[in-house]
Structure 1
Protein backbone atom coordinates (compact mmCIF):
# COMPACT_ATOMS: atom_id res chain seq x y z
CA UNK A 1 0.00 0.00 0.00
CA UNK A 2 1.00 3.61 -0.49
CA UNK A 3 2.32 5.23 2.65
CA UNK A 4 0.11 8.01 4.03
CA UNK A 5 1.19 11.59 3.44
CA UNK A 6 1.49 14.27 6.09
CA UNK A 7 -1.45 16.25 4.73
CA UNK A 8 -4.64 16.40 6.76
CA UNK A 9 -6.94 14.94 4.13
CA UNK A 10 -10.58 14.91 5.22
CA UNK A 11 -12.23 11.60 6.05
CA UNK A 12 -15.84 10.59 6.57
CA UNK A 13 -15.24 10.85 10.31
CA UNK A 14 -13.53 14.25 10.33
CA UNK A 15 -15.87 15.67 7.69
CA UNK A 16 -18.79 14.77 9.93
CA UNK A 17 -17.16 16.44 12.95
CA UNK A 18 -16.36 19.56 10.97
CA UNK A 19 -19.97 19.94 9.82
CA UNK A 20 -21.63 19.02 13.13
CA UNK A 21 -24.34 21.25 14.58
CA UNK A 22 -23.88 19.47 17.89
CA UNK A 23 -20.28 18.18 18.03
CA UNK A 24 -21.21 15.29 20.31
CA UNK A 25 -19.80 11.87 19.44
CA UNK A 26 -22.51 9.75 21.03
CA UNK A 27 -21.52 6.37 22.36
CA UNK A 28 -23.10 2.93 22.34
CA UNK A 29 -21.89 0.81 25.24
CA UNK A 30 -23.66 -1.91 27.14
CA UNK A 31 -22.44 -1.16 30.66
CA UNK A 32 -20.41 1.29 32.68
CA UNK A 33 -17.07 0.61 34.36
CA UNK A 34 -18.83 -0.86 37.40
CA UNK A 35 -20.89 -3.25 35.31
CA UNK A 36 -24.18 -1.34 35.51
CA UNK A 37 -26.45 -1.88 32.52
CA UNK A 38 -26.68 1.28 30.42
CA UNK A 39 -29.11 0.01 27.79
CA UNK A 40 -31.92 -0.29 30.36
CA UNK A 41 -33.56 -2.94 28.24
CA UNK A 42 -33.55 -0.85 25.09
CA UNK A 43 -32.57 -2.53 21.82
CA UNK A 44 -29.46 -1.16 20.14
CA UNK A 45 -31.60 0.00 17.22
CA UNK A 46 -33.57 2.30 19.54
CA UNK A 47 -30.39 3.86 20.92
CA UNK A 48 -28.91 4.39 17.47
CA UNK A 49 -32.14 5.90 16.17
CA UNK A 50 -32.21 8.29 19.12
CA UNK A 51 -28.65 9.39 18.38
CA UNK A 52 -29.47 9.98 14.72
CA UNK A 53 -32.51 12.05 15.66
CA UNK A 54 -30.35 14.04 18.09
CA UNK A 55 -28.01 14.99 15.27
CA UNK A 56 -24.98 12.94 16.30
CA UNK A 57 -22.25 13.48 13.68
CA UNK A 58 -20.58 10.17 14.55
CA UNK A 59 -21.23 7.24 16.84
CA UNK A 60 -18.68 5.56 19.08
CA UNK A 61 -19.12 1.83 19.66
CA UNK A 62 -17.38 0.24 22.62
CA UNK A 63 -16.28 -3.28 21.78
CA UNK A 64 -13.98 -3.62 24.81
CA UNK A 65 -14.85 -6.31 27.33
CA UNK A 66 -14.56 -3.88 30.27
CA UNK A 67 -17.83 -2.37 29.13
CA UNK A 68 -19.57 -5.52 27.94
CA UNK A 69 -18.66 -4.90 24.31
CA UNK A 70 -18.09 -7.31 21.44
CA UNK A 71 -17.28 -7.07 17.76
CA UNK A 72 -20.85 -8.17 17.09
CA UNK A 73 -22.04 -4.91 18.65
CA UNK A 74 -19.99 -2.90 16.13
CA UNK A 75 -21.35 -4.96 13.25
CA UNK A 76 -24.89 -4.45 14.53
CA UNK A 77 -24.52 -0.68 14.76
CA UNK A 78 -22.90 -0.53 11.32
CA UNK A 79 -25.94 -2.30 9.87
CA UNK A 80 -28.26 0.23 11.50
CA UNK A 81 -26.74 3.56 10.49
CA UNK A 82 -24.72 5.34 7.82
CA UNK A 83 -23.08 7.64 10.34
CA UNK A 84 -19.29 7.27 10.65
CA UNK A 85 -18.38 4.90 13.47
CA UNK A 86 -15.50 4.90 15.94
CA UNK A 87 -14.41 1.56 17.36
CA UNK A 88 -13.33 1.83 20.99
CA UNK A 89 -11.18 -1.04 22.22
CA UNK A 90 -7.55 -1.72 23.03
CA UNK A 91 -6.02 -2.07 19.57
CA UNK A 92 -2.48 -3.43 19.38
CA UNK A 93 -2.01 -4.89 15.90
CA UNK A 94 -2.70 -4.46 12.20
CA UNK A 95 -5.01 -7.45 12.06
CA UNK A 96 -7.34 -5.70 14.51
CA UNK A 97 -7.26 -2.60 12.33
CA UNK A 98 -8.20 -4.56 9.24
CA UNK A 99 -10.97 -6.28 11.18
CA UNK A 100 -12.20 -2.90 12.43
CA UNK A 101 -12.49 -1.60 8.88
CA UNK A 102 -14.21 -4.78 7.72
CA UNK A 103 -16.80 -4.41 10.48
CA UNK A 104 -17.76 -0.99 9.17
CA UNK A 105 -15.87 1.51 11.32
CA UNK A 106 -14.41 4.75 9.97
CA UNK A 107 -12.16 5.51 12.95
CA UNK A 108 -10.29 3.53 15.57
CA UNK A 109 -9.21 4.28 19.12
CA UNK A 110 -5.46 4.16 19.77
CA UNK A 111 -4.67 4.52 23.47
CA UNK A 112 -1.29 6.12 24.18
CA UNK A 113 -1.32 4.83 27.77
CA UNK A 114 -1.06 1.20 26.64
CA UNK A 115 1.11 1.63 23.53
CA UNK A 116 4.85 2.32 23.46
CA UNK A 117 5.69 5.34 21.31
CA UNK A 118 6.97 3.21 18.44
CA UNK A 119 3.86 1.04 18.45
CA UNK A 120 1.60 4.09 18.53
CA UNK A 121 3.38 5.58 15.50
CA UNK A 122 3.25 2.28 13.61
CA UNK A 123 -0.45 1.74 14.33
CA UNK A 124 -1.23 5.33 13.34
CA UNK A 125 0.41 4.74 9.95
CA UNK A 126 -1.33 1.40 9.54
CA UNK A 127 -4.73 2.82 10.49
CA UNK A 128 -4.36 5.48 7.82
CA UNK A 129 -3.33 2.84 5.28
CA UNK A 130 -6.49 0.90 6.16
CA UNK A 131 -8.66 3.96 5.61
CA UNK A 132 -9.30 4.55 9.31
CA UNK A 133 -9.03 7.86 11.13
CA UNK A 134 -6.72 7.39 14.14
CA UNK A 135 -8.56 8.59 17.26
CA UNK A 136 -5.61 8.94 19.61
CA UNK A 137 -6.39 9.09 23.31
CA UNK A 138 -3.91 10.76 25.69
CA UNK A 139 -3.93 11.45 29.41
CA UNK A 140 -0.96 13.77 29.95
CA UNK A 141 1.40 16.16 28.19
CA UNK A 142 4.06 13.51 27.53
CA UNK A 143 1.55 11.29 25.75
CA UNK A 144 0.32 14.24 23.69
CA UNK A 145 3.90 15.05 22.68
CA UNK A 146 4.23 11.49 21.35
CA UNK A 147 1.29 11.71 18.94
CA UNK A 148 2.38 10.79 15.40
CA UNK A 149 0.90 12.51 12.34
CA UNK A 150 -1.32 14.63 14.54
CA UNK A 151 -2.72 16.60 11.62
CA UNK A 152 -4.31 13.39 10.33
CA UNK A 153 -5.62 12.31 13.72
CA UNK A 154 -8.41 13.16 16.07
CA UNK A 155 -6.66 13.63 19.43
CA UNK A 156 -8.68 13.18 22.60
CA UNK A 157 -7.95 13.72 26.26
CA UNK A 158 -9.46 11.08 28.53
CA UNK A 159 -10.79 12.81 31.64
CA UNK A 160 -10.77 9.46 33.45
CA UNK A 161 -7.93 7.13 34.42
CA UNK A 162 -7.78 3.82 32.57
CA UNK A 163 -5.31 2.43 35.13
CA UNK A 164 -8.27 2.23 37.52
CA UNK A 165 -10.50 0.90 34.72
CA UNK A 166 -12.20 4.31 34.72
CA UNK A 167 -14.01 3.48 37.95
CA UNK A 168 -13.05 6.70 39.73
CA UNK A 169 -14.53 10.12 39.08
CA UNK A 170 -13.09 11.97 36.12
CA UNK A 171 -11.36 15.35 36.23
CA UNK A 172 -12.62 17.79 33.61
CA UNK A 173 -10.24 20.50 34.85
CA UNK A 174 -7.21 18.27 34.24
CA UNK A 175 -8.53 17.36 30.82
CA UNK A 176 -9.18 20.99 29.91
CA UNK A 177 -5.71 22.01 31.04
CA UNK A 178 -4.28 19.65 28.40
CA UNK A 179 -6.07 21.36 25.53
CA UNK A 180 -3.00 23.42 24.51
CA UNK A 181 -0.97 20.19 24.38
CA UNK A 182 -3.58 18.62 22.13
CA UNK A 183 -3.44 21.59 19.78
CA UNK A 184 0.36 21.36 19.59
CA UNK A 185 -0.02 17.92 18.00
CA UNK A 186 -1.38 19.65 14.90
CA UNK A 187 -4.81 18.04 15.13
CA UNK A 188 -7.78 20.00 13.84
CA UNK A 189 -10.04 18.04 16.14
CA UNK A 190 -9.14 18.16 19.85
CA UNK A 191 -11.73 16.14 21.77
CA UNK A 192 -12.69 15.90 25.43
CA UNK A 193 -13.79 12.38 26.35
CA UNK A 194 -15.48 10.82 29.39
CA UNK A 195 -16.88 12.18 32.67
CA UNK A 196 -18.87 14.94 30.97
CA UNK A 197 -21.96 14.70 33.11
CA UNK A 198 -24.13 17.76 32.43
CA UNK A 199 -25.17 19.81 29.39
CA UNK A 200 -23.65 22.91 31.02
CA UNK A 201 -20.23 21.32 31.40
CA UNK A 202 -20.41 20.00 27.85
CA UNK A 203 -21.10 23.51 26.55
CA UNK A 204 -18.27 24.95 28.65
CA UNK A 205 -15.81 22.48 27.10
CA UNK A 206 -16.83 23.44 23.58
CA UNK A 207 -16.45 27.12 24.41
CA UNK A 208 -13.06 26.43 25.97
CA UNK A 209 -11.85 25.23 22.56
CA UNK A 210 -12.65 21.54 22.13
CA UNK A 211 -13.96 20.78 18.64
CA UNK A 212 -15.95 17.75 19.78
CA UNK A 213 -16.92 15.78 22.87
CA UNK A 214 -17.16 12.01 23.26
CA UNK A 215 -20.04 11.11 25.55
CA UNK A 216 -21.58 7.82 26.57
CA UNK A 217 -22.81 7.21 30.10
CA UNK A 218 -24.50 10.58 30.66
CA UNK A 219 -26.42 10.35 27.39
CA UNK A 220 -27.40 6.72 27.86
CA UNK A 221 -28.55 7.43 31.42
CA UNK A 222 -30.46 10.61 30.56
CA UNK A 223 -34.23 10.28 31.11
CA UNK A 224 -34.74 12.13 27.81
CA UNK A 225 -32.00 12.56 25.21
CA UNK A 226 -33.90 15.33 23.38
CA UNK A 227 -34.22 17.26 26.65
CA UNK A 228 -30.51 16.78 27.38
CA UNK A 229 -29.59 18.10 23.94
CA UNK A 230 -31.98 21.04 24.28
CA UNK A 231 -30.34 21.97 27.59
CA UNK A 232 -26.92 21.73 25.91
CA UNK A 233 -28.05 24.04 23.10
CA UNK A 234 -29.34 26.55 25.64
CA UNK A 235 -26.12 26.41 27.65
CA UNK A 236 -24.08 26.88 24.49
CA UNK A 237 -26.00 30.04 23.60
CA UNK A 238 -25.61 31.43 27.11
CA UNK A 239 -21.87 30.84 27.40
CA UNK A 240 -19.51 33.60 26.21
CA UNK A 241 -18.60 33.11 22.55
CA UNK A 242 -14.98 32.27 21.83
CA UNK A 243 -15.40 30.86 18.29
CA UNK A 244 -14.06 27.56 19.69
CA UNK A 245 -10.62 29.07 20.13
CA UNK A 246 -8.56 28.82 23.28
CA UNK A 247 -8.77 32.02 25.31
CA UNK A 248 -6.67 32.23 28.45
CA UNK A 249 -6.75 29.23 30.75
CA UNK A 250 -9.32 26.69 29.50
CA UNK A 251 -9.43 24.87 32.84
CA UNK A 252 -10.17 28.12 34.66
CA UNK A 253 -12.81 29.01 32.09
CA UNK A 254 -14.44 25.63 32.62
CA UNK A 255 -14.45 26.14 36.40
CA UNK A 256 -16.07 29.57 36.03
CA UNK A 257 -18.85 28.16 33.84
CA UNK A 258 -19.73 25.21 36.06
CA UNK A 259 -23.21 25.29 37.52
CA UNK A 260 -23.56 25.81 41.24
CA UNK A 261 -24.23 22.82 43.44
Structure 2
Protein backbone atom coordinates (compact mmCIF):
# COMPACT_ATOMS: atom_id res chain seq x y z
CA UNK A 1 0.00 0.00 0.00
CA UNK A 2 1.43 3.38 -1.02
CA UNK A 3 1.17 6.55 1.07
CA UNK A 4 -1.69 7.97 -1.00
CA UNK A 5 -3.82 4.87 -0.46
CA UNK A 6 -3.15 5.05 3.27
CA UNK A 7 -4.06 8.74 3.42
CA UNK A 8 -7.40 8.09 1.71
CA UNK A 9 -8.27 5.19 4.02
CA UNK A 10 -7.57 7.40 7.03
CA UNK A 11 -9.47 10.31 5.46
CA UNK A 12 -12.63 8.24 5.02
CA UNK A 13 -12.54 7.33 8.71
CA UNK A 14 -11.91 10.95 9.66
CA UNK A 15 -14.82 12.28 7.58
CA UNK A 16 -17.17 9.63 8.96
CA UNK A 17 -16.29 10.72 12.50
CA UNK A 18 -16.70 14.40 11.66
CA UNK A 19 -20.18 13.81 10.25
CA UNK A 20 -21.24 12.39 13.59
CA UNK A 21 -19.73 15.22 15.62
CA UNK A 22 -20.70 18.12 13.32
CA UNK A 23 -23.70 17.18 11.15
CA UNK A 24 -24.15 18.76 7.73
CA UNK A 25 -27.23 20.51 9.07
CA UNK A 26 -24.92 22.48 11.36
CA UNK A 27 -22.44 23.39 8.62
CA UNK A 28 -25.10 24.83 6.33
CA UNK A 29 -26.01 27.35 9.05
CA UNK A 30 -22.56 28.92 8.90
CA UNK A 31 -22.78 32.62 7.96
CA UNK A 32 -19.82 32.09 5.64
CA UNK A 33 -22.02 29.99 3.35
CA UNK A 34 -23.66 33.25 2.27
CA UNK A 35 -20.35 35.02 1.74
CA UNK A 36 -19.55 35.99 -1.86
CA UNK A 37 -16.39 34.14 -2.75
CA UNK A 38 -13.32 35.74 -4.29
CA UNK A 39 -12.24 34.40 -7.68
CA UNK A 40 -8.91 32.60 -7.57
CA UNK A 41 -8.98 32.33 -11.37
CA UNK A 42 -9.30 36.06 -11.88
CA UNK A 43 -6.75 36.87 -9.20
CA UNK A 44 -4.21 34.67 -10.96
CA UNK A 45 -4.85 36.30 -14.33
CA UNK A 46 -4.65 39.79 -12.83
CA UNK A 47 -1.57 39.33 -10.68
CA UNK A 48 1.64 37.42 -10.04
CA UNK A 49 0.05 33.99 -10.49
CA UNK A 50 1.70 32.75 -7.30
CA UNK A 51 -0.44 30.61 -4.99
CA UNK A 52 1.60 30.65 -1.79
CA UNK A 53 1.02 27.72 0.53
CA UNK A 54 0.97 27.40 4.29
CA UNK A 55 2.28 23.94 5.10
CA UNK A 56 3.82 22.74 8.36
CA UNK A 57 4.96 19.30 7.26
CA UNK A 58 4.44 16.57 4.68
CA UNK A 59 4.84 12.79 4.46
CA UNK A 60 7.88 13.18 2.21
CA UNK A 61 9.69 15.96 4.11
CA UNK A 62 8.31 15.56 7.64
CA UNK A 63 8.76 18.89 9.46
CA UNK A 64 9.01 21.91 7.15
CA UNK A 65 8.13 24.77 9.47
CA UNK A 66 6.66 24.59 12.97
CA UNK A 67 7.99 28.01 13.98
CA UNK A 68 5.68 30.43 12.18
CA UNK A 69 1.97 30.80 12.85
CA UNK A 70 -0.72 30.88 10.20
CA UNK A 71 -1.63 34.57 10.58
CA UNK A 72 1.94 35.81 10.34
CA UNK A 73 2.62 33.71 7.24
CA UNK A 74 -0.55 34.42 5.26
CA UNK A 75 -0.34 38.14 5.96
CA UNK A 76 3.24 38.02 4.72
CA UNK A 77 2.14 36.19 1.57
CA UNK A 78 -0.60 38.70 0.82
CA UNK A 79 1.74 41.64 1.37
CA UNK A 80 4.26 39.92 -0.90
CA UNK A 81 1.82 40.01 -3.80
CA UNK A 82 0.55 36.43 -3.91
CA UNK A 83 -2.54 35.88 -6.08
CA UNK A 84 -3.95 33.41 -3.59
CA UNK A 85 -3.17 31.37 -0.49
CA UNK A 86 -3.33 27.59 -0.19
CA UNK A 87 -3.92 26.16 3.28
CA UNK A 88 -3.40 22.47 4.07
CA UNK A 89 -6.17 21.26 6.36
CA UNK A 90 -5.14 17.61 6.76
CA UNK A 91 -3.95 17.07 10.32
CA UNK A 92 -2.43 13.59 10.42
CA UNK A 93 -0.04 13.89 7.50
CA UNK A 94 0.41 17.65 7.02
CA UNK A 95 -0.17 19.14 10.47
CA UNK A 96 -2.96 21.42 9.25
CA UNK A 97 -6.50 22.08 10.43
CA UNK A 98 -9.76 23.81 9.63
CA UNK A 99 -8.82 26.30 12.31
CA UNK A 100 -5.91 27.34 10.08
CA UNK A 101 -8.36 27.87 7.24
CA UNK A 102 -10.78 30.09 9.11
CA UNK A 103 -7.97 32.09 10.74
CA UNK A 104 -6.50 32.73 7.31
CA UNK A 105 -9.89 33.83 6.01
CA UNK A 106 -10.27 36.28 8.85
CA UNK A 107 -6.99 38.00 7.97
CA UNK A 108 -6.94 37.88 4.15
CA UNK A 109 -8.40 39.92 1.33
CA UNK A 110 -7.27 37.56 -1.42
CA UNK A 111 -8.64 34.15 -2.50
CA UNK A 112 -8.14 31.16 -0.24
CA UNK A 113 -7.75 27.58 -1.48
CA UNK A 114 -8.54 24.67 0.81
CA UNK A 115 -5.97 22.01 0.01
CA UNK A 116 -7.33 18.72 1.23
CA UNK A 117 -7.98 15.13 0.19
CA UNK A 118 -11.65 15.63 -0.65
CA UNK A 119 -13.53 12.36 -0.94
CA UNK A 120 -17.02 13.38 0.27
CA UNK A 121 -19.47 16.24 -0.48
CA UNK A 122 -19.45 17.02 3.25
CA UNK A 123 -15.91 18.40 2.90
CA UNK A 124 -17.04 20.86 0.22
CA UNK A 125 -19.68 22.33 2.54
CA UNK A 126 -17.00 22.34 5.22
CA UNK A 127 -14.64 24.30 2.97
CA UNK A 128 -17.23 26.98 2.29
CA UNK A 129 -18.31 27.12 5.93
CA UNK A 130 -14.72 27.77 7.00
CA UNK A 131 -14.00 30.47 4.43
CA UNK A 132 -12.52 28.84 1.34
CA UNK A 133 -12.97 30.45 -2.08
CA UNK A 134 -11.70 27.39 -3.95
CA UNK A 135 -11.17 23.70 -3.32
CA UNK A 136 -8.71 21.11 -4.58
CA UNK A 137 -10.01 17.92 -6.18
CA UNK A 138 -7.44 15.19 -6.82
CA UNK A 139 -8.23 13.09 -9.90
CA UNK A 140 -6.07 10.23 -8.62
CA UNK A 141 -8.44 9.53 -5.72
CA UNK A 142 -11.80 10.27 -7.36
CA UNK A 143 -13.88 8.64 -10.06
CA UNK A 144 -14.84 10.72 -13.12
CA UNK A 145 -18.40 10.80 -11.76
CA UNK A 146 -17.21 12.15 -8.41
CA UNK A 147 -15.16 14.87 -10.11
CA UNK A 148 -18.29 15.99 -11.96
CA UNK A 149 -20.64 15.85 -8.96
CA UNK A 150 -18.18 17.50 -6.56
CA UNK A 151 -17.40 20.26 -9.06
CA UNK A 152 -21.08 20.99 -9.62
CA UNK A 153 -21.70 21.14 -5.87
CA UNK A 154 -18.76 23.50 -5.40
CA UNK A 155 -20.17 25.87 -8.01
CA UNK A 156 -23.59 25.76 -6.34
CA UNK A 157 -21.80 26.96 -3.20
CA UNK A 158 -19.93 29.67 -5.14
CA UNK A 159 -16.60 27.88 -4.77
CA UNK A 160 -14.11 27.45 -7.61
CA UNK A 161 -12.51 24.10 -8.41
CA UNK A 162 -8.85 23.32 -8.96
CA UNK A 163 -8.60 19.81 -10.41
CA UNK A 164 -5.22 18.21 -9.83
CA UNK A 165 -3.83 15.64 -12.25
CA UNK A 166 -0.54 13.75 -12.34
CA UNK A 167 -0.60 12.09 -15.74
CA UNK A 168 -2.31 11.91 -19.12
CA UNK A 169 -4.74 9.19 -18.06
CA UNK A 170 -6.14 11.25 -15.18
CA UNK A 171 -6.55 14.24 -17.47
CA UNK A 172 -8.31 12.30 -20.23
CA UNK A 173 -10.78 10.49 -17.98
CA UNK A 174 -11.85 13.57 -16.01
CA UNK A 175 -14.84 15.73 -16.89
CA UNK A 176 -13.31 19.18 -17.28
CA UNK A 177 -16.53 21.04 -18.07
CA UNK A 178 -17.19 22.03 -14.47
CA UNK A 179 -13.66 22.82 -13.23
CA UNK A 180 -12.09 26.28 -13.28
CA UNK A 181 -8.41 25.53 -12.99
CA UNK A 182 -6.34 22.46 -13.82
CA UNK A 183 -3.28 21.83 -11.72
CA UNK A 184 -0.48 19.56 -12.84
CA UNK A 185 1.24 18.12 -9.81
CA UNK A 186 4.89 17.57 -10.60
CA UNK A 187 5.15 15.30 -7.58
CA UNK A 188 4.10 11.69 -8.00
CA UNK A 189 1.89 11.14 -4.94
CA UNK A 190 2.79 7.45 -4.89
CA UNK A 191 6.57 7.78 -5.05
CA UNK A 192 7.01 11.51 -4.17
CA UNK A 193 9.48 11.92 -7.03
CA UNK A 194 9.32 15.41 -8.59
CA UNK A 195 9.78 16.48 -12.22
CA UNK A 196 8.74 19.72 -13.92
CA UNK A 197 8.60 17.76 -17.16
CA UNK A 198 5.16 16.61 -16.06
CA UNK A 199 3.79 20.16 -16.33
CA UNK A 200 5.45 20.64 -19.69
CA UNK A 201 4.15 17.37 -21.10
CA UNK A 202 0.54 17.78 -20.03
CA UNK A 203 0.19 21.47 -20.88
CA UNK A 204 -0.75 20.91 -24.52
CA UNK A 205 -3.49 18.47 -23.46
CA UNK A 206 -5.28 20.99 -21.23
CA UNK A 207 -8.06 22.99 -22.96
CA UNK A 208 -7.21 26.62 -23.58
CA UNK A 209 -10.25 27.84 -21.63
CA UNK A 210 -8.89 26.34 -18.41
CA UNK A 211 -6.29 28.11 -16.30
CA UNK A 212 -3.18 25.97 -16.09
CA UNK A 213 -1.49 25.67 -12.70
CA UNK A 214 1.86 24.01 -12.06
CA UNK A 215 2.24 22.51 -8.59
CA UNK A 216 5.17 21.19 -6.53
CA UNK A 217 8.89 21.30 -7.02
CA UNK A 218 9.01 24.95 -8.13
CA UNK A 219 11.96 26.66 -6.50
CA UNK A 220 13.31 29.17 -9.01
CA UNK A 221 12.15 32.11 -11.11
CA UNK A 222 13.73 30.41 -14.10
CA UNK A 223 11.40 27.43 -13.68
CA UNK A 224 8.36 29.69 -13.77
CA UNK A 225 9.56 31.59 -16.83
CA UNK A 226 10.02 28.25 -18.59
CA UNK A 227 6.61 26.95 -17.51
CA UNK A 228 4.93 30.15 -18.71
CA UNK A 229 6.14 29.27 -22.21
CA UNK A 230 4.00 26.14 -21.91
CA UNK A 231 0.90 28.14 -21.02
CA UNK A 232 0.93 27.87 -17.25
CA UNK A 233 -0.57 30.95 -15.56
CA UNK A 234 -0.48 29.91 -11.92
CA UNK A 235 2.19 28.36 -9.72
CA UNK A 236 1.58 26.74 -6.35
CA UNK A 237 4.62 27.12 -4.12
CA UNK A 238 4.78 26.05 -0.50
CA UNK A 239 7.90 24.31 0.67
CA UNK A 240 10.26 26.77 -1.02
CA UNK A 241 8.79 29.61 1.06
CA UNK A 242 7.92 27.73 4.23
CA UNK A 243 11.40 26.29 4.77
CA UNK A 244 12.90 29.78 4.87
CA UNK A 245 13.40 31.84 8.03
CA UNK A 246 10.71 34.30 6.87
CA UNK A 247 8.15 32.82 4.41
CA UNK A 248 6.56 36.19 3.65
CA UNK A 249 9.90 37.83 2.88
CA UNK A 250 10.95 34.85 0.78
CA UNK A 251 7.73 35.11 -1.23
CA UNK A 252 8.18 38.87 -1.66
CA UNK A 253 11.70 38.50 -3.01
CA UNK A 254 10.57 35.74 -5.35
CA UNK A 255 7.63 37.74 -6.72
CA UNK A 256 9.75 40.86 -7.22
CA UNK A 257 12.27 38.73 -9.14
CA UNK A 258 9.39 37.68 -11.40
CA UNK A 259 8.85 41.33 -12.23
CA UNK A 260 5.84 42.12 -10.04
CA UNK A 261 5.75 44.94 -7.55
CA UNK A 262 4.39 44.02 -4.10
Normalising by structure 2, report the TM-score. 0.77
**Structure-1 residue corresponding to 2:184:** 157
Unpaired runs of 5+ residues, structure 2, are 1-36
Q: Following TM superposition, by how much is the alpha carbon of 1:130 offset from its aligned partner in structure 2, in angstroms?
A: 1.4
Distance 2:151 2:114 in 1: 14
42 and 190 in structure 1: CA distance in 2 versus 1, 3 angstrom threshold: same
153 and 38 in structure 1: CA distance in 2 versus 1, 3 angstrom threshold: same
**Structure-1 residue corresponding to 2:175:** 148
Q: Does the CA contact (< 8 Å) of 1:108 and 1:134 recur in 2? A: yes
228 and 57 in structure 1: CA distance in 2 versus 1, 3 angstrom threshold: closer
Map 1:103-114 to 2 at 5 A. 103-114=130-141
For residues 95-124 of structure 1, what are the alpha-carbon distances to aligned partners after superposition, in whole Å with 9 as ceiling and x for unaligned?
A: 111111010001000000000111111111
For residues 63-119 of structure 1, what are the alpha-carbon distances to aligned partners after superposition, in whole Å with 9 as ceiling and x for unaligned?
A: 123211111111121122121111111112221111110100010000000001111
Match of 2:222 among 175, 200, 219: 200
Match of 1:211 among 208, 233, 238: 233
Q: Does 1:125 align with 2:165?
A: no
Q: Does the CA contact (< 8 Å) of 1:134 and 1:152 recur in 2? A: yes
Distance 1:228 1:149 in 2: 31
3-state SS in 2 of match to 1:177: helix
Distance 1:199 1:138 in 2: 23
Q: Does the CA contact (< 8 Å) of 2:186 and 2:195 recur in 1? A: yes
Normalising by structure 1, report the TM-score. 0.77
Higher relative contact order (CA 8 A, sep 6+): 2
Q: Following TM superposition, by how much is the alpha carbon of 1:178 offset from its aligned partner in structure 2, in angstroms?
A: 0.7
Q: Following TM superposition, by how much is the alpha carbon of 1:40 offset from its aligned partner in structure 2, in angstroms?
A: 4.3
Distance 1:68 1:230 in 2: 26
Unpaired runs of 5+ residues, structure 1, are 1-9, 238-261
Q: Does 1:176 align with 2:203?
A: no
3-state SS in 1 of match to 2:103: helix
Q: Following TM superposition, by how much is the alpha carbon of 1:227 offset from its aligned partner in structure 2, in angstroms?
A: 5.4
Q: Following TM superposition, by how much is the alpha carbon of 1:140 offset from its aligned partner in structure 2, in angstroms?
A: 1.1
